[in-house]
Amino acid sequence: MKTGTLQFITLLLGAIITVACGNKRSNTDRTPSEDLTAKQMLQGVWLNEGEYDPAFRVVGDTIFYPDTTSQPVYFQIFKDTLVLHSAITTKYLIVKQAPHLFVFKNQNGDIIRYTKTEDKSYLTYFEEKRPVALNQNRLIKRDSVIIYGNDHYHWYIQVNPTTYKVAKQTYNDDGVEVDNVYYDNIIHLSLYRGATQLYSHDFRKNDFRHQVPPEVLVQSILSDIFYTKTNTDGFHFNASVCVPDSPTSYQITIIVSFNGKVRLKV
């Protein structure tokens, strides 16, 4: 084979490999990553623009509503899209977001505008007790990357449904006492600094026996664990131990320090 022909074939193969690698990188880049800056900007209490009644409150990964019928909902933000993970996942186009302004388009195409308030008195709107939505028979996975100081941390949560039954005593329409049966969860929580595992544990409701009275714990379910914040104490997570279909619930803070030590507080 002539030298010129050989060089041409070599160059052609090199070009094909380059294009293939480029396509591979392009496909990889299509995987959306959550906008953690936008999520952080959304933390706090928001009012309908020009009004004085609160619309919602954002704490960590969760949106809370002031009325007693709307359950809290887990949310994410990807680029210009707000994603709400309720019974049905819904997406909304974010028109504009600033530290004290949030504008989005609802499902009817209407532009909805909210302004953030720093008035702490609005927090009382979200203190009313209500039945907490339970995670039942659903495998849930969540994870996120947190940059704190000069290090990258990665937390991971997985809610694992079990066949462990929890019986709650109640009364039917005839006033007869009956037991409603629910199923408990085991929730895995792990935390990494880079590739180094700082903490890993499978939480069961009995892990919170010192925070929840025994007569409540026996009828409760470990419903969920959410990430809330990071500060000098470490990484804060919120565990919900709830009595099904009841306003009774205990919210326990799990604090994982930067050296992997854990402490719990109500």
Q: Are both 167 and 259 inside the same structural domain? A: yes
Query: What pLDDT is stored for residue 263 in this prediction?
Result: 94
pTM: 0.52
Q: Is the pLDDT of residue 31 over 90?
A: no
Question: Domain for residue 191, yes or no?
Answer: yes
Q: Are both 164 and 119 inside the same structural domain? A: no
Question: Domain for residue 119, yes or no?
Answer: yes
Q: Are both 117 and 147 inside the same structural domain? A: no
Q: Are both 85 and 161 inside the same structural domain? A: no
Q: Is the pLDDT of residue 22 over 60?
A: no
Q: Is the pLDDT of residue 153 over 90?
A: yes
Q: Is the pLDDT of residue 173 over 90?
A: no
Question: Domain for residue 26, yes or no?
Answer: no
Question: What range does the domain containing 81 cover?
Answer: 36-126
Q: Strand (E) positions, the chain? A: 44-48, 54-59, 62-64, 73-78, 81-85, 89-98, 101-105, 111-117, 140-148, 151-171, 177-193, 196-203, 221-231, 234-242, 249-256, 262-265
Query: What pLDDT is stored for residue 52 in this prediction?
Result: 81
Q: Is the pLDDT of residue 172 over 50?
A: no
Q: Are both 259 and 206 inside the same structural domain? A: yes
The per-residue pLDDT for range 53-74, each reduced to its tens digit, is 898 999 988 888 887 556 677 8
CATH number assigned to the domain comprising residue 69: 2.40.128
The per-residue pLDDT for range 95-150, each reduced to its tens digit, is 999 999 999 998 788 898 999 999 988 888 887 655 556 676 778 899 999 999 89
Q: Are both 119 and 52 inside the same structural domain? A: yes
Domain end marker among 75, 103, 126: 126
Q: Are both 94 and 154 inside the same structural domain? A: no
Q: Are both 191 and 89 inside the same structural domain? A: no
* φ and ψ at residue 39, rounded to 5 degrees: -65, -40
214-220 mean pLDDT = 88
Q: Are both 116 and 148 inside the same structural domain? A: no
pLDDT band at 27 (very low <50, low <70, confident <90, very high): very low
Question: Domain for residue 243, yes or no?
Answer: yes
Give me the percent of the chain exceeding a pLDDT of 90: 46
Q: Are both 112 and 151 inside the same structural domain? A: no
Q: Are both 168 and 222 inside the same structural domain? A: yes
Question: Domain for residue 25, yes or no?
Answer: no
Q: Is the pLDDT of residue 25 over 80?
A: no
Q: Are both 199 and 117 inside the same structural domain? A: no
Question: Domain for residue 20, yes or no?
Answer: no
Q: Is the pLDDT of residue 13 over 90?
A: no
Question: Domain for residue 3, yes or no?
Answer: no
Write out the two tokens for 6: 């050989």
Gap between the Cα atoms of 226 and 224, Å rounded: 7
- For the chain, how many structural domains are there in total? 2
47-52 mean pLDDT = 86
CATH number assigned to the domain comprising residue 167: 2.40.128.510
Please indicate whether residue 48 or residue 21 has the higher confidence score (pLDDT).
Answer: 48
Domain end marker among 98, 126, 154: 126
Question: Domain for residue 5, yes or no?
Answer: no
Gap between the Cα atoms of 10 and 70, Å rounded: 64
Least trusted range by pLDDT, from 6-20, 24-38, 123-137, 246-260:
6-20
